[in-house]
Amino acid sequence: MVDIIIPVYNSLSTINRTLSSILYQNTSYEYKVTLVDDCSKDNYENIISFYKNFMDIDIIRLKRNSGPGYARQYGIDNTSNPYIIFVDSDDIFSSPDSLEFLVSNIISNDDDVLISTFLEETINGFIPKQNDFVWFHGKIYKRSFLELNNIRFNGYRKNEDTGFNTFLFMHDLKYTYLDFKTYIWCNNPNSITRKNNYEFAFEGSEWFAKNMLWALQAAVAKGLNHDRIAYNAFVGLCSTYFMYISFCKTNDFKNMFPAVRKIIEIHRNYPLSEEIKEEIVKTYESNSPFGDNFVTMFFSGISFDEYINMIERKEYD
């Protein structure tokens, strides 16, 4: 019924907790766990051997290290159950009812994607992430919809969730969001998004922009809905601008600007109404380091307009 796909790379210290959270699920649905080994140095045979006593679990191996996006796609291509859940090798389900909730609701709603709430674990506690369309956390996908629409990972090594899910949600699909906590993004200080986090912000911004561009270009080539392309192009520009003003490091962010420049071109070709633009901008207020001044900055001479002009004129070189 469900394929749970877990990319693993030197994950021996965390994978046991992840698999234990799956083992303790109270569910009537059959599931298969597939670990996709991205050329780890770790040996998972003892782990697999132990959990085979309790669940349907297997491991498949890549021939070369290719990143989590490629590993997830390899997992999709080598499994066959009608529903798919992605779990990271250092994360857990948040409750014993998580799997039952995800599967039962996507079936009863006849959805292509079901979105639930996930929790980000921090040193100060848990932060709920609600109605999120970007991360894989807390989502279940219908395989037939992915296959019918040829929705696949692009092979990028980082921020691949942005590319995959942005492209996915620009399609005409049926989805439901339910505010039920199913997943915990655990605070692993050695994970790629936590270790050297300041450096990752710059590197991640480049890959965010590249993945957003890839999704938009794929949507344009496929002739997807004009309004969805316009909406996501503007969201992509707002997001990169938000990254830029949050850190105020022009040179550190210049690697993302070539991709942003192409997103601007798509934005010009797919204009968005001012009313919708204002709604999008206001959603950034609560996350902005500038608080209520974010909107003022956005529409004043310094901020968004100058940011766009700087990139269009290539004044960042």
How do strand 31-37 and strand 56-61 relate by DSSP bridges? parallel
Domain boundaries of the chain, sorted by first residue: 2-185, 197-312
How do strand 113-122 and strand 125-129 relate by DSSP bridges? antiparallel
- Kindly provide the residue ranges of all beta strands, DSSP E only, lying in the chain, ordered along the sequence: 2-8, 31-37, 56-61, 83-86, 92-93, 113-122, 125-129, 139-142, 175-185
Report the pLDDT value the prediction gives residue 248, as an integer from 0 to 100.
58
Mean pLDDT of the chain: 89
The CATH number of 2-185, from 1.20.1250.20, 3.90.550.10, 3.40.50.620, 3.30.70.330, is 3.90.550.10
- The pair of three-digit structure tokens given for residue 316, joined into one six-digit string: 């960042």
Report the pLDDT value the prediction gives residue 317, as an integer from 0 to 100.
61
94-143 residue pLDDT tens? 999 999 999 999 999 999 999 999 999 988 889 999 999 999 999 999 99
Q: Is 36 helix (H, G, I), strand (E, B) or coil?
A: strand
Q: Which residue has the higher pLDDT, 278 or 100?
A: 100
What is the percentage of the chain residues whose pLDDT exceeds 90? 70
* pTM for the full predicted model: 0.89
